[in-house]
């Protein structure tokens, strides 16, 4: 494969595309890079199969799209082979839950979240462990014009510790109250406010930037007032028509745009190990609708 004639196959009407006829061990020709970047803008997440990559080769690919983050805002993921940008995302057989088993975009609780995530499969369970994605522009476009106009005036506060609260996140139901108490201390103040509707800087499409678990409240509203609307937005965002589901194989790699999709790592492989290598990449952030007007 010379990386000059790739094939792009959409996986659903709105979300995800599988790219073939490319060997990611090799440098990308400029035209190939541009086609891959366009596919990422069009579909929010792209997938590659049958790739035999070292951590250094995965990093070289990620760097084609921007500056790879060494700390990635994460303190509990280990670097791989002395490369701090490549992090282990691992669920051991005896862990009570996986990482990311709920709808979210990566690092939305930071003022400047990661733009791209590049995830490569190293060790997989015999069955299960798929990842689902939902497109935030498809969710935005499904809303009525009047509702969009209302949401364009709102921002929402994203809170890191919500992921560990059994009262907020069903995926945390196996965690103890003591674990959540420690999470509150560890991640105290780790929160950020973002516009609910914003404009993607590359596709120019509007997105519903909303994270069902991390979002605590609309700014200026109480959480009690916010919950009914947040529940409705979650329903719209995760309609099956807005999603795709990727079945991992060893050597598969996914790259997604955290400005354009949310994802959900299915936790249906208890008792088995799953090891992935993740890189996050910086990039231009979303433009608030008021600034884009």
pLDDT at 291: 55
Query: Which pair of tokens denotes residue 3?
Result: 């990386």
- The predicted-structure confidence for 156-180, as pLDDT tens digits, reads as follows 999 999 999 999 999 998 888 898 8
pLDDT over 50 (residue 68): yes
What is the CATH classification number for the domain harbouring 39? Answer: 3.60.130.10
Q: Identify whether 132 is part of a domain.
A: yes
pLDDT at 1: 45
By residue range, what is the domain housing residue 161? Answer: 7-292
Q: Identify whether 2 is part of a domain.
A: no
Q: Identify whether 57 is part of a domain.
A: yes
Q: Identify whether 1 is part of a domain.
A: no
pLDDT at 73: 58
Per the prediction, the chain carries an average pLDDT of 93
Which letter, b or e, does each residue of 33-69 get, where b requires 16 or more Cβ atoms within 10 Å of its Cβ?
Answer: eebbeebbbbbbbbbbeebebebebbbbbbeebeebb
pLDDT at 293: 46
Lowest model confidence (mean pLDDT) among 2-16, 33-47, 119-133, 240-254: 2-16
pLDDT over 80 (residue 75): no
Please tell me the distance from the alpha carbon of residue 126 to that of residue 129, in angstroms, as a whole number.
Answer: 9
Q: Identify whether 30 is part of a domain.
A: yes
The residue assigned the tokens 């519903």 is 208
**What is the 3 state secondary structure string of 230-258?**
HHHHHHHHCCHHHEEEECCCCCCEEEEEC
pLDDT over 50 (residue 292): no
Number of domains in the chain: 1
Residues 6+ apart with CB under 8 A from 151: 143, 196, 197, 208
Q: Identify whether 181 is part of a domain.
A: yes
pLDDT over 90 (residue 289): no
pLDDT over 70 (residue 140): yes
Q: Identify whether 172 is part of a domain.
A: yes
Pick the closest to residue 116 from 54, 202, 14, 56 (CA basis). Answer: 202
Q: What is the dihedral of CA 11, 14, 15, 19, to 10 degrees?
A: 50
- The predicted-structure confidence for 188-210, as pLDDT tens digits, reads as follows 999 999 999 999 999 999 999 99
- The predicted-structure confidence for 85-105, as pLDDT tens digits, reads as follows 999 999 999 999 999 999 999
Name the pLDDT band for 48 (thresholds 50, 70, 90): very high
Query: Which pair of tokens denotes residue 265?
Result: 């790592």
Q: Identify whether 43 is part of a domain.
A: yes
pLDDT at 51: 97
pLDDT over 60 (residue 72): no
- DSSP, collapsed to helix, strand or coil, labels residue 177 as helix
């Amino acid at each position: 494969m010379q990386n000059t004639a790739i094939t792009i196959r959409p996986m659903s009407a709105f979300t995800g595309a599988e790219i073939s006829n490319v060997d990611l061990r090799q440098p990308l020709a400029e035209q190939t890079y541009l086609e891959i970047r366009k596919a990422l803008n069009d579909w929010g997440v792209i997938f590659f199969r049958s790739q035999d990559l070292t951590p250094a080769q995965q990093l070289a690919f990620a760097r084609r799209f921007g500056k790879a983050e060494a700390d990635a805002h994460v303190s509990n993921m280990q670097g791989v082979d002395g490369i701090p940008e490549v992090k282990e995302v691992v669920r051991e057989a005896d862990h009570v839950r996986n990482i990311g088993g709920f709808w979210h975009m990566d690092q939305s609780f930071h003022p400047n979240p990661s733009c791209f995530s590049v995830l490569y499969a190293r060790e997989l369970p015999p069955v299960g462990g798929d990842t689902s994605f939902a497109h935030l522009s498809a969710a935005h476009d499904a809303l009525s014009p009047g509702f969009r106009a209302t949401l364009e005036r709102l921002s929402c506060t994203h809170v890191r510790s919500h992921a560990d609260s059994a009262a907020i996140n069903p995926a945390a139901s196996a965690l103890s109250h003591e674990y959540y108490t420690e999470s509150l201390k560890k991640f105290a103040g780790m929160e950020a406010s973002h516009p609910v509707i914003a404009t993607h800087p590359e596709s120019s499409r509007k997105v519903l930037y909303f994270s069902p678990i991390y979002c605590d409240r609309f700014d200026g509203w109480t959480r009690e007032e916010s919950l009914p609307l947040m529940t409705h937005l979650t329903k719209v965002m995760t309609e099956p028509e807005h999603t795709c589901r990727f079945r991992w194989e060893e050597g598969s790699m996914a790259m997604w745009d955290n400005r354009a999709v949310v994802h959900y790592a299915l936790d249906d492989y208890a008792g088995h190990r799953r090891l992935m290598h993740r890189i996050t990449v910086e990039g231009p952030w979303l433009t608030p609708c008021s600034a884009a007007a």
